């Protein structure tokens, strides 16, 4: 069954005060083409977060949290293209406008551009769909149009526990199945638990893969995020065959996994290239507070679990309760309370000029899409979109048509476009 809900609006539900809601001059202008030159200053809008933080921790950098509020002026159409998906986890646009969408239970589906048809694709290996595990991310080879290769991540059960696995296979000519699926990479060590798999996949310009891997959540495993002999809590850089990309930052370090590119991460479920700077940006879940946006750079340590802006879910402090330490990177931005950031996407189209260069973040517990205005690698404005939908936004993808697409845990496929 196809359900379409047409709701045309100017998004402005983020602002809770009457003063903010009446302010129409809400675009930001900057020298990087990340706004309209005619836009007015919006720094007088209040931050979109109005709830008190969980901690009294102080930000290390100016503007690192609770940035000024902004408001999209462009009239938008919010369309639900499909509401029958089964716990979708990732969305990957195809060159012809259709989508590959993973469903956490283990099914990969091919969805038409208008959302009207959903076709199951057979041939994937069995997943362990317990806890936060299942069929997770999906991406296509940069040469997909000629080679038909598809890459995906999933949680795999072994006798020693579960593991984040990366696999590849070719989409058959009739698009009914994945041919010759093979696992190219497994994170280490394996662990008997079902949380924090991470596992977004992006390709670099050379056609190699960057993959985010979670630290599996427990106090026992989280310390592995700091260990270079394990790939939990890491960004790894691998070839299409799963081998370490040469000359990695730890390739010559004794006992270190040569595929490690960056470390000290918790549960990174967002990866995206910044089209303005060409750098890799990441979003990760904090515990109780301390969700982060980071710029991932070679060899850098992002601190978890040594430094954090969050607390244990019990309310207890984590470790020494410090937020800064020499040799550890500060997040570009963090949230407290948590919004539970999952998939992220940069908008790089001229269709909605005020969005160009902005970072969009799917929020699960926050039940909205966060729009972050970026200038000089800093967040200078934040907006909450689609808050009234009450959906857990799991993954985002920009379309070639200038629209932003999103899938939710509740099974919906959204199209957000210029009216």
Positions annotated as catalytic residues are: 196
Q: How big is the chain, counted in residues?
A: 419
386: left (phi over 0), alpha (psi -120 to 50) or beta: left
The answer to whether residues 67 and 331 touch, using CB atoms and an 8 Å cutoff, is no
Q: What are phi and psi of 155, to 5 degrees?
A: -95, 125
Tokens of 15: 């602002």
Tokens of 165: 């696995």
Distance (Å, rounded) from C-alpha 406 to C-alpha 148? 23
Distance (Å, rounded) from C-alpha 231 to C-alpha 85? 32
Pick the closest to residue 416 from 399, 403, 400, 407 (CA basis).
403
The answer to whether residues 270 and 276 touch, using CB atoms and an 8 Å cutoff, is no
Q: What are phi and psi of 24, to 5 degrees?
A: -95, -15
198: left (phi over 0), alpha (psi -120 to 50) or beta: left
Tokens of 52: 């008190």
């Amino acid at each position: 069954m196809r359900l379409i809900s047409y709701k045309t609006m100017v998004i402005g539900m983020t602002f809770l005060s009457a003063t903010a809601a009446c302010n129409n001059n809400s675009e930001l202008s900057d020298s990087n083409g990340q706004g309209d030159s005619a836009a007015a200053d919006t720094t007088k809008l209040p931050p979109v977060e109005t709830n008190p933080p969980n901690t009294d921790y102080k930000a290390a950098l100016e503007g690192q949290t609770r940035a000024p509020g902004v408001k999209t002026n462009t009239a938008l159409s919010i369309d639900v293209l499909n509401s029958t998906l089964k716990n979708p986890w990732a969305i990957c646009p195809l060159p012809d406008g259709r989508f590959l969408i993973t469903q956490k239970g283990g099914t990969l589906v091919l969805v038409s551009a208008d959302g009207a048809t959903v076709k199951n694709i057979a041939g994937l290996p069995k997943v362990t769909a317990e806890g936060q595990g299942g069929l997770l991310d999906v991406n296509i080879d940069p040469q997909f149009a000629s080679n038909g290769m598809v890459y995906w991540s999933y949680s795999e059960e072994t006798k020693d526990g579960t593991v984040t696995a990366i696999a590849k296979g070719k989409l058959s000519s009739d698009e009914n199945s994945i041919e010759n699926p093979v696992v190219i990479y497994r994170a280490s060590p394996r662990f008997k638990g079902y949380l924090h798999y991470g596992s977004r996949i992006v390709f670099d310009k050379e056609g190699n893969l960057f993959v985010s891997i979670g630290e599996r959540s427990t106090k026992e495993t989280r310390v592995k995020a700091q260990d270079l002999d394990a790939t939990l809590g890491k960004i790894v850089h691998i070839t299409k065959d799963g081998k370490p990309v040469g000359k990695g930052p730890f390739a010559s370090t004794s006992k270190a996994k040569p595929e490690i590119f960056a470390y000290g991460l918790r549960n990174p479920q967002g990866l995206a290239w910044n089209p303005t700077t060409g750098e890799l940006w990441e979003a990760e879940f904090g515990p109780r507070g301390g969700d982060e946006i980071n710029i991932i750079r070679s060899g850098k340590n992002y601190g978890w679990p040594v430094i954090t802006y969050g607390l244990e879910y019990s309310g207890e402090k984590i470790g020494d309760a410090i937020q800064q330490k020499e040799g550890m990177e500060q997040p570009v931005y963090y949230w407290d309370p948590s919004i539970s950031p999952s998939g992220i996407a940069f908008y790089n189209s001229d269709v909605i000029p005020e969005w160009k260069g902005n970072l969009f973040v799917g929020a699960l517990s926050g039940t909205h899409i966060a729009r972050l205005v970026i200038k000089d690698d800093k967040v200078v404005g934040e907006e909450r979109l689609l808050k009234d939908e009450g959906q857990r936004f799991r993954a985002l993808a920009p379309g070639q048509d200038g629209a932003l697409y999103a899938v939710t845990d509740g099974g919906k496929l959204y199209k957000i476009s210029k009216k």
